[in-house]
Structure 1
Amino acid sequence: MLEVESLACLKGDRLLFRDLAFRLQAGGLLRVAGPNGVGKTSLLRLVTGLALPEAGEIRWRGESIRRAREAFHGDLLYLGHAAALNDLLSPLENLRFACAAAGDAVDAEDCVQALQRIGLADQLDLPARVLSQGQRRRVGLARLFLSNARPLWVLDEPFTALDVRAVADLAATLSQHCEAGGMVMLTTHQDAPFARPPEVLDVGVFAC
């Protein structure tokens, strides 16, 4: 279980939100909502431990993520809004590097299958610089098929630049992860055909 209590976020000299709280349990799908600039991405960065809160506590399996940082990161998959690709490397090389950096033990064939499943069978060996925005996004999303052992997925605008079919496929993948006992926390401005409606956390309610 992911538990957030009395969370406050300071960005520069501006307090974005305070007293934010929620719980995400096994099987849970949580959509973080709110107007632009309210602090949705900042909340994801706090939850993943990439930034420190001004106040409040974040716990994973009952332990503070500060004290159990290594164990928490072993259970977490975070995909930010940016594709974060090396333009000189191919999708296959980028994916293998990302998995290795995260400590995921996957081989080349696993990566090939993930990229084929995400719709990049014809772009495996092309340099990332020639890919469309949607294709670049898919390279990062291919990690979802290689991270089933990580129960908590935190995704910032995962549907950006995807076509209708890709949106449906991704929604199905996220729904299946939750049905298997995983958890998903995401931001999105798009409606997606999830198997069941997500819970909604409106950050604007806690805005300062």
Structure 2
Amino acid sequence: MQGLSAWRDDRCLYCDVDLSLPTGTVMQIRGPNGAGKTTLLKHIAGLSGRRAGQVSWASTDSHDDRDTFTQQMLYLGHLPGVKSALTVAENLQALAACRGINLLTHTISQALNTVHLGGYDDMPCHQLSAGQLRRVALARLFTEPVPLWLLDEPFTAIDQAGVRELEGWLAAHSEQGGVVLLTTHHPLALNCPLQFLDLQPIVEDWH
């Protein structure tokens, strides 16, 4: 990833960011509010507005082969991103279908067991707590297996036991050759090397 730049209105959030993510990497994007952490994740995922730079995966420019790149990455935003009127299973099925994946019932059940929502398959999501909604989103890590995880504040609304478990999933993914790029205000304690990318707000010179 080379020369990544993004703008909000007429203000540059970050300019000429170069980023390399070899297999097995876990990297945390750090910086104060407004530095562009979420925007950078969306930039890489192809979801941001005004942006510039090259995003490549396996030596292929994402602009040249968008579909292949999309199939290799999973973006989870700071909101759960589930439909409250649908059941837990319906949400996972619909999200996977957007990627051309036809989820089997046992795959959903296994994923929900992993995130401690076993038996919640048919529960309408409007009846779930904030922490449970976050776990529905995290279940996608196991229903849509991909090498690149882009996670924006994944620890939001997760209890202490869940935090430790999610840290374990991040480490396990990297140990299996996956790549994790995340934002979080949570101090990470991972059983694997952790890299950092620091973003600072760009202060315009008005003189």
Amino acid at match of 1:114: A
Q: 193, 202, 206: which one pairs with 1:207?
A: 202
Instruction: Find the counterpart in structure 2 of residue 195 from structure 1.
Output: 191
Instruction: Give the 3-state SS of the residue equivalent to 1:23 in structure 2.
Output: coil
Segments of 5+ residues of structure 1 without an aligned counterpart are none
Deviation at 1:63, TM superposition (A): 1.9
Deviation at 1:95, TM superposition (A): 1.2
Matched-pair identity in %: 38
Segments of 5+ residues of structure 2 without an aligned counterpart are none
- Superposed, which structure 2 residues align to 1:150-165 within 5 Å? 150-165=146-161
Instruction: Find the counterpart in structure 1 of residue 39 from structure 2.
Output: 42
Q: 1:50 and 1:89 mapped to 2: Cα distance? A: 24
- Superposed, which structure 2 residues align to 1:29-178 within 5 Å? 29-51=26-48, 54-148=51-145, 150-178=146-174
Amino acid at match of 1:169: E
Structure 1 pair 54–85 and aligned structure 2 pair: CA distance change class (3 A) = closer
* Count of residue pairs brought into register by the alignment: 203
Q: CA RMSD in A?
A: 1.5
Instruction: Give the 3-state SS of the residue equivalent to 1:191 in structure 2.
Output: coil
Deviation at 1:193, TM superposition (A): 2.5
TM-score, normalization by structure 2: 0.92
Q: 1:167 and 1:184 mapped to 2: Cα distance? A: 16
Residues 43 and 51, structure 2, Cα contact 8 Å, conserved in 1:
no
Q: 1:84 and 1:128 mapped to 2: Cα distance? A: 11
Structure 1 pair 53–61 and aligned structure 2 pair: CA distance change class (3 A) = farther
| CA-to-aligned-CA distance 1:40-61 (integer Å, 9 cap, x gap) | 0100011011135533222111
- The ranges of structure 1 where at least 4 consecutive aligned residues each deviate by more than 4 angstroms after the TM superposition are none
